[in-house]
Structure 1
Amino acid sequence: MAKDRKPQTGRSGGGAGRSGSAGGGKGGRTRPPANNVVTQQRPWGLIAAAVAVVVFAAAVITYAVVQVNEADAARVDSVDEIKGVQTFDYAAGQEHVTTPVEYEQSPPVGGPHDGEWADCTGTVYDVDIRHENAVHSMEHGAVWITYDPEALSADQIATLAAVAGESGRMLSPYAGQDSPVSLQSWNHQLKVDSVDDPRIVQYADFMTFNDDFYPEVGASCENPQFISDPLTVDDPSRGAAAAMTDAPTTPSPDAGSGATESGTP
């Protein structure tokens, strides 16, 4: 008995199907894949940060250059460049005395002085220190800044204290002086009317421990006893027992208290 043969559907169209899939029949065509172009975003945050760094660096450099230029403009290379400085002529080797001295200049700038020097390690005194001891400090290279206590406020005194607060300097009130502020070192003096006068810093920077202008180069400015117990204008000398060893102080023939003013007012 013969088997029923089922019609093989699609057999006769197989060629067409295969042709369509292989050769591009309408039902078998596919679209090419789309090329999606992604635009890269610029790193604006990083760019902004870099610009900020550059601007900041430029500002720092500009500020530094301005500061250097200002410092150079304020710096002096000669005492003659500081307008108003007076120059005197006290020789090295002034006599050590225990008695009061009548100085020709007020405040004094040289001459005979006490054997004990006032501490000048950036010391700020609130009393009118004994002048004979202060002169000895200037012989050691110190700049002594004085002020009229009736003419300055507490803030103005603090401004001077900031200038005086370095080794080789000292500050004290000086009753009755003829200017609000006076700066003196051995044989030199500058009087000014304002604590903001730029010549104060110029003088202090140039004259402090300037080897060309004081007799006893290398002598000490330290005297702890004078810090803890400063002598005032009303006190007597502590005497020979308190005299301190420093450079030789043999009086010279012209070491009198008189001085010749060679500077201009």
Structure 2
Amino acid sequence: MAKDPQPENGRGAGGASRGGSGSSRSGGVPGKGAGGRSTSSRATGPQGKGRTRPPANVVTQQKPWGLIAAAVAVAVFAAAVLTYAVLQVNESNANRVTSIDQLADLRSYEYAAGQEHVTTDVDYTESPPVGGPHDGEWADCTGTVYDVDIRHENAVHSLEHGATWITYDPEAISDADLSTLEELVDGRSGLMLSPYAGLGSTISLQSWNHQLSVDSAADERVEQYVDFMTFNSEIEGAYPEIGASCENPLFITDPIVEGDPSRGTDAMVTDAPTTTEPAAEETSTP
């Protein structure tokens, strides 16, 4: 008698095992969903199209306020310095003398060129003298400060070379005024300073054919006279020996004092009179 057929091992009715197996295939493959489509990390962008990109970093530029402030500060400082400099120049020019007539109380004389060179003492009309016969050796006038009353005949020769000779009464001048004069003269070419006994005023300034007396070194005319008169060959009655030297090292180290004799031919520097024209015998004041 025949036996009923038995289902084979692992197979259920209608292939359930296969279905189970198939179900396992469809759901057990990583990264795939139904129908075998990928479910990987490739995400879709907006509206399911293409890839998404990370958002761009937007950098906002900041204005360099520190540099701007520094530049403004520098500009303001420069403008202030320039303004100050202009004001100083204008103030200086306001006090500058451009004509001999602007020097109040200036006395002028008429000593001609070609004054005689002598080794003897000269009895000058003016005190201090402003021209006339003089020693063949000139006193050093390279901004020289003397502490002795230098021999007048040598000083007049320096005036002939264009120098300004500042003298002061040692009995009348204050320490402050003397210090001011020393600072003004020291090392400035064309100037010399010395005490002068019995001056008659506190301070007196001399150049060839010109003279000015003041009571104080703070008088603005002191610097005006020095600036305008020293080596000025264009004024009326200007010094005769234009371009002559002011240097005499021997006179610095060994100045001849008023009342001492001339060095004569022993002098290191001498020159001849500028011309042979007769010299003025007298002086005149305006």
Q: TM-score range by the shorter chain?
A: 0.7 to 0.9
CA contact (8 A) 1:148 1:176 kept: yes
Partner residue of 1:209?
231
Larger displacement relative to structure 2 (198-207 or 237-246): 237-246
Whether 2:271 is the aligned partner of 1:245: answer yes
- Matches for 1:116-135 after TM superposition, within 5 Å: 116-135=137-156
Match for residue 148 of structure 1 among 146, 165, 169: 169
Partner residue of 2:101?
80
> How far apart are the structure 2 equivalents of 1:24 and 1:227?
103
Task: After superposition, give the CA deviation of every residue in 1:182-228 in whole Å (9 maximum; x if it has no partner).
Answer: 11101101111221222111111111111131112122211111111
CA change 1:35–1:182 in 2 (3 A) is same
- Matches for 1:11-26 after TM superposition, within 5 Å: none
CA contact (8 A) 1:95 1:255 kept: no
| RMSD (Å) for aligned C-alpha atoms | 3.0
Displacement of 1:34 after TM fit?
8.5
Whether 2:119 is the aligned partner of 1:89: answer no
Match for residue 91 of structure 2 among 70, 78, 101: 70
CA contact (8 A) 2:116 2:273 kept: no
CA change 1:216–1:42 in 2 (3 A) is same
CA change 1:22–1:53 in 2 (3 A) is closer
Displacement of 1:261 after TM fit?
1.0
TM-score with structure 1 length normalisation? Answer: 0.82
> How far apart are the structure 2 equivalents of 1:22 and 1:170?
102
Q: Give secondary structure in 2 for the equivalent of 1:50.
A: helix
Whether 2:264 is the aligned partner of 1:261: answer no
CA contact (8 A) 1:93 1:255 kept: no
Partner residue of 2:4?
none
> How far apart are the structure 2 equivalents of 1:153 and 1:89?
33
Larger displacement relative to structure 2 (76-85 or 240-249): 240-249
Displacement of 1:74 after TM fit?
2.3
Match for residue 193 of structure 1 among 200, 203, 215: 215
Displacement of 1:100 after TM fit?
1.7
Partner residue of 1:233?
258
Displacement of 1:168 after TM fit?
1.3
The runs of 5 or more residues in structure 2 that have no matched partner are 1-7, 12-16, 48-53
- Match of 1:91, as an amino acid? A
Displacement of 1:246 after TM fit?
4.2
Displacement of 1:35 after TM fit?
9.2
TM-score with structure 2 length normalisation? Answer: 0.77
Displacement of 1:71 after TM fit?
2.6
Task: After superposition, give the CA deviation of every residue in 1:223-257 in whole Å (9 maximum; x if it has no partner).
Answer: 111111100113111224437124535361x532x
Rg larger in 1 or in 2? 2
CA change 1:34–1:103 in 2 (3 A) is same
Total equivalences in the alignment: 252
CA contact (8 A) 1:219 1:246 kept: no
> How far apart are the structure 2 equivalents of 1:186 and 1:12?
125
Partner residue of 2:77?
56
